[in-house]
Amino acid sequence: MAKMVSSRLLQIPESPIRKLVPYATEAIRKGIKVYYFNIGDPDIDTPEIMLEVLTNWKQKTITYSRSHGEPNLLESLKNYYNKLGHTFINIDHLLVTLGGSEAISMAFLATTELGDEIITFEPFYTNYNSYAAVNGIKIVPVRTFAKDGFHLPSRQEIEKKINKKTKALLYCNPNNPTGTVYTKKEVEMLVSIAKKYNLFLIADEVYREFVFDNRQHTSILSYFNKIPNQAILVDSLSKRYSLCGARVGVLCSLNKEIMDGAMRIAQGRLSAGLIDQLMASKLAKVPESYFKKVHREYENRRNVLYKGLLSIPGVSVPNPEGAFYCIVDLPVKDSEDFCKFLLTDFNLNGETIMIAPAAGFYATKGLGNNQVRIAYVLKVEYLKKLIQILKKALPAYNQTLKSRG
């Protein structure tokens, strides 16, 4: 007799960012060079002072860390937030998590009962669906549009979706996957809605530093005093310090019940990684010049990519304001099929690209089918290749479709 696994396991969605990996692996096997623009895994060097924690390693035993987090990392994080101007943050408001992923999952569990709803803005970071499925809740999308640069819709459009099951609003600022940086006015609107309907407001700010064209980032931390028991910050060191493979995130709230409960979850899984945390704890010593250089690099990449994309017939994209992603409209009907084609049936001088079909970033069925997400995490030289490859691949793909009949 076959043993059936749980229905909730079967409901966990496949990652649209990673589901094409087998095709990439196969392309590489055939000798093709694949450039990865599908995932936010930057090629920027990790700060040297962090890598030196590894090369100078002395401790003979890799022991557990504390469930709350390594004390010197907590202290560094506190100082980091204090220096940003949020001087009320102390280590009791912080919990070190296994990446931003765990922080979001904890926030979902803390704020919802089973079957409850969290409102967010589509297209949204696709893994929110995964954490929602694991926690038995529903993501309710409010649509945003390319024509608005994926900025928030009106207050009415958001309020329409609020019902008795709604427990939280969730937003990512700067936004993955759209690159949108919400204005102060937009953040204040969300705070005001949260206040009016007594909802939690969960802000994912892992791209905080990546804002372009002299924009200012408006952090939810500036509104913690307005909604002290409702505001939750999710953070991560992955992008800021090119530490994706070090699983170090942060959950931050003034709500003591949330932090106490999250601490109990943290105790159950014992601790985050010791080495990753000790590495991350050097964040206070990363020179300002590192960020300036990284910021300049990303802004330059953004410029090259944006200009290049607009030079391709039939392609459109709003100018990304931050983070290192954009959602691009392509002249195709089925972008997943196109992304697959890039890996299985196309190459330019033995090279191709991996990009993420955008449908998985929408909760509404049928949306995003002509869009892809591009993560500009590789250097300009490779971004230029991406433009060349797209330029050639799009007509080649549409030709293939015709011949397929």
Comparing CB distances to its own copies, the nearer of 270 and 310 is 270
List, in sequence order, every residue forming a beta bridge with 132; answer none if it has no partner.
none
Site residues (CB under 8 A) for its own copies, limited to 213-252: 229-230, 242-247
Single-letter code of the amino acid located at 356: A
Comparing CB distances to its own copies, the nearer of 97 and 370 is 97
Q: Which two tokens stand for residue 230?
A: 């409702």
Q: Select from 2-10, 205-213, 317-325, 386-394 the region that touches its own copies (CB under 8 A).
A: 2-10
CB of 224 to its own copies, least distance (A): 13
Q: Which two tokens stand for residue 221?
A: 């931390």
Site residues (CB under 8 A) for its own copies, limited to 52-91: 54-57, 60-67
Under 8 Å between Cβ of 277 and 73? yes
Site residues (CB under 8 A) for its own copies, limited to 253-312: 255, 257-258, 261-262, 264-265, 267-276, 279
Q: Which two tokens stand for residue 269?
A: 């899984």
Site residues (CB under 8 A) for its own copies, limited to 115-154: 116, 127, 129-131, 134, 136
CB of 92 to its own copies, least distance (A): 12
Biggest alpha carbon–alpha carbon distance for the chain: 64
Please give the C-alpha separations between residue 277 and each of 195, 251, 265, 313, 368, in angstroms, as whole numbers: 35, 15, 18, 47, 37
Contact pattern for its own copies over residues 185 through 204, marking x by CB under 8 A: -------------x-x----
Comparing CB distances to its own copies, the nearer of 67 and 347 is 67
- Torsion angle, alpha carbons of 25, 30, 34, 39, to 10: -10
Helices (H) and strands (E) in the chain, counts: 13, 12
Q: Which of 30, 33, 43, 395 binds its own copies (CB under 8 A)?
A: 43
Site residues (CB under 8 A) for its own copies, limited to 320-379: none
Under 8 Å between Cβ of 125 and 202? no
Site residues (CB under 8 A) for its own copies, limited to 8-27: 8-10, 12-15, 17-19, 21
